[in-house]
């Protein structure tokens, strides 16, 4: 049962108590609701309220591009003091607080100390990076916190955009990488390049220049090139590439890493660094040279020492202390200082030192070697010696007193030996005399050629001859066996000094022979060329056979070039015990550090043999050429494409990086939008405005056929110039090929589809004219009729279908006169071309029936309303074989049937004869004469026979003919006044007394005059034997050129047949 006594309150009191307690608990918060809002400022592109089905729409945007921005207002109240308000920008969109700098980062705003954020504008835009062909629909909201809990704006705003495929685009960040100094032969730490690409047609090829390497980020696998594979779903790339500096030489490296893909603009990241060497180091050997005791004024025998150095960037200066002299090698003059220049940052030199005291005493010091570059370095060789006093009388000192050439050949000695000489207290010259013509020598300090003596040296004023080197050689022909000779030094009052010369001569000359030649070497920078070889042999050699290649070439005794040390541009072959070197292959390759060309020789030497040179030419400079020209495309209809396309061959050599082929459009005022007129393709299927050629990674050659087609968008001639761009070339900008690079095409208009039938009739009054009328409807061109019409006239009633106007040919009209304009076929004259609806054609024979043929054509650039000659496209009548002409009949047949009409010279008259077969209502005949065949006058009149079917012959004479050339015709007159004419007959008539020739004698031009003029009259020059020298028709000026004739007497004849005059003319 219920225990009522346990309740301490009335029923209902407990609920009211809890409500009261809740009110007291939340009372401080009433009127302070936490709120974050995000609202769109402008209307949506789509009408209606914002929602899932109708979001904020940003339109269609290409991958890699961005839309116009939209603004939004964010505000907040009663948040945590100084709390943050964030807006997470969804994928595919970018945000900004200033409408300038956009990113995908979260937008962060800060409330004030009261926890409020006043109205703040933020901006969003659609910037898709992937998903071409898809709609991107995202939600966005603002959020913050209060008392540790989240606060969100509500409702969220829906954002939408349509991602569409764009043009291939690559972006790289950063634009430049600086690696600073890096020790040669080591690798720098990698630096990273971010690569983003959209709408790609092909993978991205990353190519590093010499001295740099690339790798997929984090892979550690570095190479000269790297392929970035595009995402198969959206043809994008979003990755990082590591670049490291790997210098191979101590120099500055400034170049570009290229990122290339078909149709995309190649992007480059500039890379730079300096290859530096390790610190310089020098060493010497031996540590000490001891020269014992020597008389002052004399010189000791030389002693060898070696200076070696690594990582040397400046000259090494070797200096001898007081009392000592040095020289480089075993020949030449001893001096106080020798400078060693590094080769490939190395020094390895053998020098000689000798003791040359000038006064008595101890000479203990150090020969020093010093370099200052690359941190500097030094070394030294200790030298010791003791000098005694010189004698008081004349003396001569030589050292050494014996020169042993050891083994020599008939060609002479392999080396040059030397002795030093000095003298003191002399009263006469010092004379050196050789005992044998095989011994040649010279004063090295004076220079000059070797002689077999004697050499005279004059002492100084104090009687001294300064210390000097006398160099000695043995020259051919040296007889085989033991050789002995001397060089004697003498001077009055001084004891002679003798230097003995000895050698052992083997039988035969020392020779070097070469077999083979080297073709030009070709490679790319930093990559060894293909190996070539030649053969060398040696006979009776006394020294090693040394092979010395020029800079950038390497030589070896095996084709693998294993064990190459340093530059590898020299080697030595030691002869056998008999002095011979058997036929030995010398392998050569070209290894240039940069793009260069060089021409030099490889020296094969072993003294005393004559050295032999092998030509060594190499190039690493890239080349590119178009092997065959593009043939101009003609009569390609507007807005179509030429087919088939043309193939041209491009060959590039010594290229490491891709080559982009583009076109430079030649401007034309008819090409209003500067649209490209040619398209390029690698496969003859997909055409574009640019293509990329990738070299063979083994041969560094591009030998590729590309395809080109003409795609005209305006009428007339279109031209472009093929260009190329590659970072391999010194000019990394786009440049022209220079030959075979012109693309040219000629377009024609579209063909009309309708043909108007012309109305043709003869002029009612003037039968030499015909009227051609085209009854065209309004706006006829848009209906399919031609913009213009070509009219052809002929006496033939039909036109073979093969003889029609040729497209692209702008026929001239002959001013609408028959027989003057061009012919589309023999006897078919073009009489008009244009857009007139009515045309009058003249020049017709009233008695002849003519036939007219009309052809519709288009040749007007519509957007400019300009007719373009040469762009005509003619509509041919649809007939199988013969095209009938539209008749323009002539007058009825003549009432007189004229059989013949002639006019001939007869003595001093012109005989005129004509014959008729029949006459009908014939009133009379009128004989007319003209000087110019255009204006005629009446000569005589003869009555006709009226009407007759009998043959009638008429004979008349012109008793006073015109002198020179004249024309006759017969005019027939009917009883009703109608007339007709015969054909025109020319007559040449001359009267001897009316022909004048001057000057006579003549030097150049002979002038001929006659009544009636000379135009058209024949003139002939013959010699006295009757041989024709010259013949011509005279002009109106009557000049006859005789300048080229030899001096003598000639016969000049004017006229022909019975009407001619001859004069004897003397040519001076």
The CATH classification of domain 169-276, taken from the options 3.30.360.10, 2.60.40.10, 3.40.50.10540, 1.10.220.70: 2.60.40.10
pLDDT at 46 over 70: no
pLDDT at 20 over 50: no
> What class, spelled out in words, does domain 281-388 have in CATH?
mainly beta
| Predicted TM-score (pTM) above 0.75 | no
- What CATH code is assigned to 35-164? 2.60.40
pLDDT of residue 120: 92
Mean predicted confidence (pLDDT) in 814-819: 85
CATH 2.60.40.1090 assigned to domain 623-730? The reply is: yes
- The sign of the dihedral angle between the CA atoms of 574, 575, 579, 581 is negative
pLDDT of residue 888: 60
pLDDT at 419 over 70: yes
pLDDT digit string, tens, across residues 369-391: 999 999 999 999 999 999 988 88
pLDDT band at 4 (very low <50, low <70, confident <90, very high): very low
Q: Which CATH architecture has domain 511-618?
A: Sandwich (2.60)
pLDDT of residue 1024: 86
Alpha carbon separation from 834 to 636, 853, 856, 864 (Å, rounded): 22, 14, 10, 18
CB-CB neighbours of 93 under 10 Å = 21
Mean predicted confidence (pLDDT) in 708-721: 97
Quick one: tokens of 964?
């020179």
Are 301 and 425 spatial neighbours (Cβ–Cβ below 8 Å)? no
Which runs of E-coded beta strand occur in 578-645? 581-590, 597-605, 612-619, 623-626, 633-637
Intervals of CATH 2.60.40.10 along the chain? 169-276, 511-618
d(CA 17, CA 20): 5
CA dihedral 568, 574, 579, 581 (to 10 degrees): -60
CATH 2.60.40 assigned to domain 397-500? The reply is: yes
Q: What is the residue-averaged pLDDT of the chain?
A: 89
Intervals of CATH 2.60.40.1090 along the chain? 623-730
Quick one: tokens of 1054?
């004017």
Quick one: tokens of 795?
């006496």
pLDDT digit string, tens, across residues 945-984: 998 889 999 999 999 888 878 889 999 999 888 888 888 8
Intervals of CATH 2.60.40.3080 along the chain? 992-1067
Q: 452 burial class (0-12, 13-18, 19+ CB within 10 angstroms)?
A: middle
- Phi then psi for residue 872, to 5 deg, are -70, 135
Can you give 497-559 as a three-state secondary structure string?
A: EEEEEEEEECCCCCEEEEECCCCCEECCCCCCCCCEEEEEEEECCCCCEEEECCCCEEEECCC
- The sign of the dihedral angle between the CA atoms of 564, 566, 569, 573 is negative
pLDDT at 23 over 50: no
CATH 2.40.50.140 assigned to domain 992-1067? The reply is: no
Intervals of CATH 2.70.50.50 along the chain? 896-989
Intervals of CATH 2.60.40.1510 along the chain? 281-388
pLDDT digit string, tens, across residues 127-178: 988 777 888 888 898 898 777 778 888 888 889 998 887 889 999 999 999 9
Nearest to 578 by CA among 523, 510, 637: 510
> What class, spelled out in words, does domain 759-888 have in CATH?
mainly beta
> Which residue blocks in 767-812 are alpha helix, DSSP H?
780-783
Q: Is 774 helix (H, G, I), strand (E, B) or coil?
A: coil
pLDDT band at 26 (very low <50, low <70, confident <90, very high): very low
Are 672 and 695 spatial neighbours (Cβ–Cβ below 8 Å)? no
Alpha carbon separation from 217 to 43, 193, 572, 611 (Å, rounded): 45, 9, 46, 54
Alpha carbon separation from 578 to 482, 547, 606, 609, 845 (Å, rounded): 17, 20, 15, 15, 110
Q: Which positions ≥6 away from 556 have C-beta within 8 Å?
A: 562, 564, 568, 571, 586, 587
Are 896 and 978 spatial neighbours (Cβ–Cβ below 8 Å)? no
pLDDT digit string, tens, across residues 1009-1064: 887 677 778 889 999 888 988 988 888 888 999 988 888 999 999 887 767 888 89
Q: Which positions ≥6 away from 786 have C-beta within 8 Å?
A: 752, 755, 855, 856, 857, 858, 875
Residue count of the chain = 1068
Specify the pairing of strand 597-605 against strand 716-725: unpaired
CATH superfamily of 896-989: chitin-binding protein cbp21 (2.70.50.50)
d(CA 831, CA 816): 5
């Amino acid at each position: 049962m219920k225990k009522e006594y346990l309740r301490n309150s009335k029923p209902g009191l407990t609920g009211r108590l809890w409500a009261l307690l809740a009110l007291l608990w939340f009372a401080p918060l009433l009127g302070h609701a936490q709120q974050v809002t995000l609202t769109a400022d402008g209307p949506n592109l789509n009408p209606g309220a914002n929602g899932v089905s109708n979001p904020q729409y940003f339109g269609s945007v290409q991958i890699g591009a961005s839309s116009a921005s939209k603004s939004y207002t964010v505000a907040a109240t009663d948040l945590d003091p100084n709390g943050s308000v964030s807006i997470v920008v969804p994928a595919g969109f970018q945000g900004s607080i200033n409408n300038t700098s956009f990113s995908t980062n979260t937008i962060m705003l800060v409330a004030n100390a009261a926890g409020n954020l006043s109205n703040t504008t933020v901006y969003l835009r659609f910037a898709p990076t992937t998903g071409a062909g898809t709609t991107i629909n995202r939600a966005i909201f603002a959020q913050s916190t209060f008392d540790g809990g989240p606060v969100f704006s509500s409702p969220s705003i829906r954002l939408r955009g349509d991602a569409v495929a764009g043009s291939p685009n690559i972006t790289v960040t950063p634009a430049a990488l600086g690696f600073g100094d890096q020790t040669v032969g080591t690798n720098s730490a990698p630096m990273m390049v971010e690569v983003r690409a959209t709408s790609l047609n092909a993978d991205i090829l990353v190519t590093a220049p010499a001295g740099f390497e690339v790798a997929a980020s984090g892979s550690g696998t570095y190479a000269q090139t790297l392929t970035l594979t595009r995402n198969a779903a959206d043809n994008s790339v979003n990755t990082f590439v590591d670049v490291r500096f790997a210098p191979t030489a101590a120099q500055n490296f400034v170049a570009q890493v290229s990122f290339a893909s078909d149709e995309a603009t190649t992007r480059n990241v500039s890379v730079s660094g300096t290859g530096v060497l390790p610190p310089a180091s020098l060493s010497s050997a031996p540590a000490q040279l001891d020269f014992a005791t020597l008389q002052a004024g004399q010189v000791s025998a030389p002693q060898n020492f070696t200076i070696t150095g690594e990582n040397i960037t400046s000259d090494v200066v070797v200096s001898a202390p007081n009392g000592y002299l040095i020289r480089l090698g075993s020949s030449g003059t001893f001096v106080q200082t020798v400078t060693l220049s590094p080769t490939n940052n190395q020094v390895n030199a053998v020098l000689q030192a000798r003791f040359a005291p000038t006064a008595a005493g101890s000479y203990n010091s150090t020969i020093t070697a010093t370099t200052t570059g690359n941190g500097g370095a030094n070394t030294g060789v200790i030298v010791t010696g003791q000098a005694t006093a010189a004698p008081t009388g004349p003396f001569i000192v030589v050292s050494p007193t014996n020169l042993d050439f050891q083994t020599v050949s008939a060609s002479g000695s392999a080396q040059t030996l030397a002795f030093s000489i000095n003298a003191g207290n002399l009263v006469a010259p010092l004379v050196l005399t050789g005992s044998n013509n095989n011994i040649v020598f010279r004063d090295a300090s004076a220079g000059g050629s070797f002689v077999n003596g004697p050499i005279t040296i004059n002492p100084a004023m104090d009687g001294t001859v300064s210390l000097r080197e006398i160099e000695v050689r043995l020259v051919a022909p040296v007889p085989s066996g033991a050789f002995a000779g001397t060089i004697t030094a003498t001077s009055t009052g001084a004891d002679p000094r003798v230097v003995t010369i000895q050698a052992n001569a083997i039988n035969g000359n020392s020779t070097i022979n070469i077999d083979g030649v080297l073709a030009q070497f070709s490679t790319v920078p930093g990559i060894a060329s293909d190996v070539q070889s030649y053969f060398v042999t040696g006979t009776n050699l006394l020294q090693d056979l040394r092979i010395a290649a020029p800079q950038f070439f390497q030589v070896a005794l095996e084709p693998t070039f294993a064990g190459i040390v340093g530059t590898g541009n020299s080697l030595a072959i030691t002869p056998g015990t008999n002095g011979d070197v058997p036929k030995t292959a010398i392998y050569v390759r070209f290894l240039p550090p940069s793009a260069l060309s060089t021409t030099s020789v490889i020296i094969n030497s072993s003294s005393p043999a004559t050295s032999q040179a092998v030509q060594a030419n190499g190039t690493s400079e890239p080349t590119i050429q178009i092997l065959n020209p593009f043939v101009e495309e003609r009569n390609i209809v507007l807005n179509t494409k030429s087919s088939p396309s043309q193939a041209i061959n491009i060959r590039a050599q010594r290229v490491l990086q891709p080559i982009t082929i583009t076109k430079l459009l030649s401007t034309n005022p008819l090409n209003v939008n500067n649209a490209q007129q040619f398209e390029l393709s690698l496969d003859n299927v997909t055409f574009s405005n640019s293509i990329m050629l990738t070299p063979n990674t083994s041969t560094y050659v591009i030998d590729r056929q590309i395809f080109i087609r003409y795609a005209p968008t305006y009428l007339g001639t279109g031209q472009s110039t093929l260009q190329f761009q590659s970072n391999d070339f010194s000019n990394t900008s786009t440049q022209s090929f220079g030959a075979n690079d012109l693309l040219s095409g000629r377009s024609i208009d579209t063909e009309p589809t309708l043909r108007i039938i012309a109305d043709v009739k003869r002029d009612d009054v003037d039968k030499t004219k015909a009227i051609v009328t085209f009854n065209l409807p309004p706006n006829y061109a848009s209906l399919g009729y031609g913009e213009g019409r070509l009219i052809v006239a002929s006496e033939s009633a039909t036109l073979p279908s093969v003889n029609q106007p040729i497209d692209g040919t702008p026929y001239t009209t002959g001013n609408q006169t028959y027989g003057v304009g061009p012919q589309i076929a023999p006897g078919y004259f073009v009489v008009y071309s244009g857009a007139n609806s009515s045309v009058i054609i003249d020049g017709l024979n009233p008695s002849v029936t003519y036939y007219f043929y009309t052809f519709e054509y288009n040749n007007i650039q519509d957007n400019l309303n300009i007719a373009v000659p040469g762009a005509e496209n003619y509509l041919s009548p649809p007939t199988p074989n013969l095209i009938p002409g539209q008749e323009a009949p002539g007058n009825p047949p003549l009432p007189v049937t004229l059989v013949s009409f002639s006019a001939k010279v007869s003595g001093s008259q012109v005989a005129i004869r004509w014959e008729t077969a029949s006459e009908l209502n014939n009133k009379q005949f009128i004989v007319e004469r003209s000087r110019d065949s255009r204006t005629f006058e009446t000569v005589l009149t003869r009555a006709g026979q009226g009407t007759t079917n009998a043959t009638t012959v008429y004979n008349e004479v012109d008793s006073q003919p015109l002198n020179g050339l004249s024309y006759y015709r017969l005019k027939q007159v009917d009883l009703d006044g109608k007339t007709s004419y015969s054909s025109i007959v020319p007559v040449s008539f001359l009267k001897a007394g009316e022909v004048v020739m001057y000057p006579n004698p003549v030097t150049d031009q002979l002038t001929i005059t006659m009544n009636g003029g000379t135009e058209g009259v024949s003139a002939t020059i013959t010699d006295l034997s009757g041989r024709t020298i010259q013949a011509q028709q005279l002009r109106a000026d009557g000049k006859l050129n005789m300048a080229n004739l030899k001096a003598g007497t000639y016969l000049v004849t004017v006229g022909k047949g019975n009407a001619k005059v001859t004069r004897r003319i003397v040519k001076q």
